[in-house]
Amino acid sequence: MEPTLFILDDDRSFVRAASEMARQHGYQVHAAHTLAEAREKIPDIRADLLLLDLELPDGRGMDLLADIDLAEHGQVVVVTGSPSIESAMRAVSAPVMDYILKPLCPAQMARLLEQSSPGRWKKSVPSRPPGLDGFVGRSPATQQVADTLVQVAASEATVLIDGESGTGKEVAARALHELSGRSGPFVAINCGAVPHELLASQLFGHERGSFTGAHGRHIGVFEQAAHGTLLLDEIGEMPAQLQVYLLRVLETGTVTRVGGSDAIPVPVRVVAATNRDPLAAVEAGRLREDLYYRLADVPITLPPLRERGDDVILLARMFIDRLNTRYHRSRYLKPRTEGLLLRHAWPGNVRELRSAVQRAYLLEPGDALTVRPAPPRPVLTETDSTIVFTVGTTLAELERRALLKTLDHFDQDKTAAARALGISVRTVHNHLARLEAEDGRTSDAPA
């Protein structure tokens, strides 16, 4: 398999030069020019080398480290054209292999690529054995899930996994695949992350010329996962018309590519996952009832972290151990941190905990780590001069609240309010008349 380089840098000339050198060394290259773009791309990438620019238009390159599972990636190198003592100290305290100044000379780049090749760094990382080793926990709820996975792994049954976001649905699906002994690969697709108009092609494949832009044949994930396991994540986000076709694929064991006519056998074990209550999704019409029963030969519900007791401590230690193995360190969890971990509700579940561990690993000095939940986001409150609304608030409601709040601000002076809103006084009167008709509200404010 080709080694992979991920570059996060807003200097496009540097990205082009580094990419060309990496390709000459046999690397596959992915690049992003902003922190937001990197956060969108990195979940689908396992990089052997990450080159991170310090200063970006929307943040700092090292901020990306808190968003990824560091143990799943290779070496991290900071590249900057504007060095500072602060950035150097932060880089040294983080699991960063090197801190290099631009311009990056060819010899330096060649050395980085050689040192970061999979044969160099992955030798120190033990490969994860098949089974449940990645499914950590001793709580009764976790053990019940583990027992079910073991019992059904070797069967042909479809499995529907539900649970809150961050509870480890993909981890459970991978464990199921590893326990099954299937010879094919584990393939996952997020049905909610792919645009609806492209989802059919990603799932079932397409033939050349089947639609605009189809310049060649594409093999869908059902065929890619032959003799293995296919995870259909966020199954409730699949459009209704595709659910009908998916049901047929499950019933017949064959798939027909978009624009094709041949029925192609797809010997694959299907696992579906959702962060919604699947029966509530059926009731709401988001998930077809017949598809639900076809997917849920064995339904499995993953417990939230707050219901798993001491598992939170085991998981925190596991994340630290993985990072220690990866970066050859000996950091550990401070004993007094355990009570803090147990008291927090962890609404983001295991994903939130992993992020908290990585934040402590990156930022805390010394080997003893205090893992703290991220501080809560401030709750916006409405004031005399502001309006707070949620996504989905109707335009009519926004207009009503904006008009009334502006009138209050200008002591019911309709002329001043109209001027501030950029509308005529007549329009203000018309809106107030409509509101009176709708809710009987009377206005005795002076004109």
73, 91, 124 - which closes a domain: 124
Q: What is the pLDDT of residues 48-92, one digit of tens each?
A: 888 888 888 888 888 888 778 877 787 888 887 765 544 444 544
* Domain enclosing residue 352, as ranges: 306-369
pLDDT at site 83: 53
If pLDDT is split at 50, 70 and 90, which confidence band does 138 have? confident
Would you say residue 341 lies in a domain?
Answer: yes
The verdict on 41 and 106 lying in the same domain is yes
- 23-32, 156-165, 429-438: range with highest mean pLDDT: 156-165
Residue 123 has pLDDT above 50, yes or no: no
pLDDT at site 29: 92
How do beta strands 55-56 and 59-60 pair? antiparallel
The verdict on 247 and 272 lying in the same domain is yes
- What SS3 state is found at 262? coil
Would you say residue 135 lies in a domain?
Answer: no
Please give the backbone phi and psi of residue 265, each rounded to the nearest 5 degrees, phi first: -60, 140
Residue 436 has pLDDT above 50, yes or no: yes
Which positions ≥6 away from 423 have C-beta within 8 Å? none
Among 34-38, 132-136, 346-350, the minimum mean pLDDT is found in: 132-136
Residue 364 has pLDDT above 80, yes or no: yes
Among 365-379, 406-420, 429-443, the minimum mean pLDDT is found in: 429-443
The verdict on 296 and 209 lying in the same domain is yes
The verdict on 311 and 217 lying in the same domain is no
If pLDDT is split at 50, 70 and 90, which confidence band does 384 have? confident
Q: What is the pLDDT of residues 305-339, one digit of tens each?
A: 999 998 999 999 999 999 998 888 889 988 778 88
Would you say residue 191 lies in a domain?
Answer: yes
The verdict on 44 and 95 lying in the same domain is yes
Would you say residue 131 lies in a domain?
Answer: no
Would you say residue 83 lies in a domain?
Answer: yes
Residue 230 has pLDDT above 90, yes or no: yes
Would you say residue 129 lies in a domain?
Answer: no
Among 208-212, 224-228, 311-315, the minimum mean pLDDT is found in: 208-212
Would you say residue 130 lies in a domain?
Answer: no
The verdict on 10 and 150 lying in the same domain is no
CATH number for the domain harbouring residue 253: 3.40.50.300
282, 301, 320 - which closes a domain: 301
- What SS3 state is found at 260? coil
Mean pLDDT, range 149-174, rounded to an integer: 93
pLDDT at site 131: 61
CATH number for the domain harbouring residue 315: 1.10.8.60
How far is residue 368's CA from residue 198's CA, in Å, rounded to a whole number? 48
The verdict on 289 and 322 lying in the same domain is no
The verdict on 312 and 293 lying in the same domain is no
Among 37-41, 208-212, 314-318, the minimum mean pLDDT is found in: 208-212
Q: Which amino acid is at 176?
A: L
Query: Using H for helix, E for strand and C for coil, what is the string for 96-158?
Result: CCEEEECCCCHHHHHHHHHHCCHHHHHHHCCCCCCCCCCCCCCCHHHHHHHHHHHHHCCCCCC
Tokens of residue 236, six digits: 């409730």
> How much of the chain, in percent, has pLDDT values that exceed 90?
39
On the 0-12 / 13-18 / 19+ scale of CB atoms within 10 A, 95 is buried
The verdict on 159 and 278 lying in the same domain is yes
pLDDT at site 442: 41
- 16-25, 137-146, 290-299: range with highest mean pLDDT: 290-299
pLDDT at site 38: 92
Q: What is the pLDDT of residues 276-288, one digit of tens each?
A: 999 999 999 999 9
What b/e string do you get for 172-191 counting C-beta neighbours within 10 Å, with b at 16 or more? bbbbbbbbbebebebbbbbb
The verdict on 323 and 358 lying in the same domain is yes
On the 0-12 / 13-18 / 19+ scale of CB atoms within 10 A, 26 is exposed
Q: Do the beta carbons of residue 93 and residue 363 sit within 8 Å?
A: yes
Residue 184 has pLDDT above 50, yes or no: yes
345, 369, 393 - which closes a domain: 369
Residue 383 has pLDDT above 80, yes or no: no
Among 174-178, 209-213, 390-394, the minimum mean pLDDT is found in: 390-394
How many other CB atoms sit within 10 Å of the CB of residue 229?
23
Would you say residue 409 lies in a domain?
Answer: yes
CATH number for the domain harbouring residue 47: 3.40.50.2300
The verdict on 49 and 76 lying in the same domain is yes
How far is residue 249's CA from residue 363's CA, in Å, rounded to a whole number? 49
The verdict on 162 and 253 lying in the same domain is yes
Total domains, the chain = 4
